[in-house]
């Protein structure tokens, strides 16, 4: 399984990349070809609508921990096969910096 953290230089993304021992990227090295290869994309940039459907492969597991806005364009859920309300659950976390890395790590290990 290929996991990619988008926003790996921020507090949340850096911790996730370290915990999951996976690839990462940020705005300086944003690469859509890496997005297309990933089975799991965890995005934590806070840039609303950053990741579009054409940037991910069909069936991708998309975990959106962007704060305050969701990083995935809403139509990306259709391409991902609508893997449940993961984005909504994580975006409503009351303390994003403390809880989101742990929640996203648990979700990835459950897949």
- In the predicted structure, residue 9 carries a pLDDT above the cut 70: yes
63, 42 Cβ separation under 8 angstroms: yes
12-46 pLDDT tens trace = 889 889 988 999 999 889 999 999 999 999 888 88
41, 35 Cβ separation under 8 angstroms: yes
In this prediction, residue 3 has a pLDDT band, given cuts at 50, 70 and 90, of very high
Residues 93-96: contacts with CB under 8 Å, at least 24 apart: 93/65, 96/12, 96/65, 96/67
36-95 pLDDT tens trace = 999 999 888 888 889 998 999 888 888 888 777 778 887 776 666 554 444 443 333 344
Nearest to 24 by CA among 53, 2, 51: 2
* Residue owning tokens 């297309």: 36
With DSSP H G I counted as helix, E B as strand and the rest as coil, what are the percentages for the chain, rounded to 5? Answer: 40, 15, 40
In this prediction, residue 11 has a pLDDT band, given cuts at 50, 70 and 90, of confident
| Distance separating alpha carbons of residues 64 and 43, to the nearest angstrom | 5
- In the predicted structure, residue 102 carries a pLDDT above the cut 70: no
| Distance separating alpha carbons of residues 91 and 95, to the nearest angstrom | 10
């Amino acid at each position: 399984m290929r996991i990619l953290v988008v926003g790996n230089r921020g507090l949340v993304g850096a911790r996730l990349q370290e915990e999951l021992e996976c690839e990462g990227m940020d705005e300086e090295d944003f690469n859509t070809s890496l997005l297309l290869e990933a089975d799991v994309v965890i995005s934590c940039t806070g840039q609303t609508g950053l990741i579009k459907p054409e940037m991910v492969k069909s069936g991708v597991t998309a975990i959106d921990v962007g704060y305050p806005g969701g990083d995935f364009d809403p139509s990306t859920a259709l391409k991902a096969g609508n893997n449940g309300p993961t984005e909504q659950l994580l975006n409503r976390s009351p303390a994003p910096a403390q809880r989101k890395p742990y929640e996203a790590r648990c979700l990835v290990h459950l897949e």
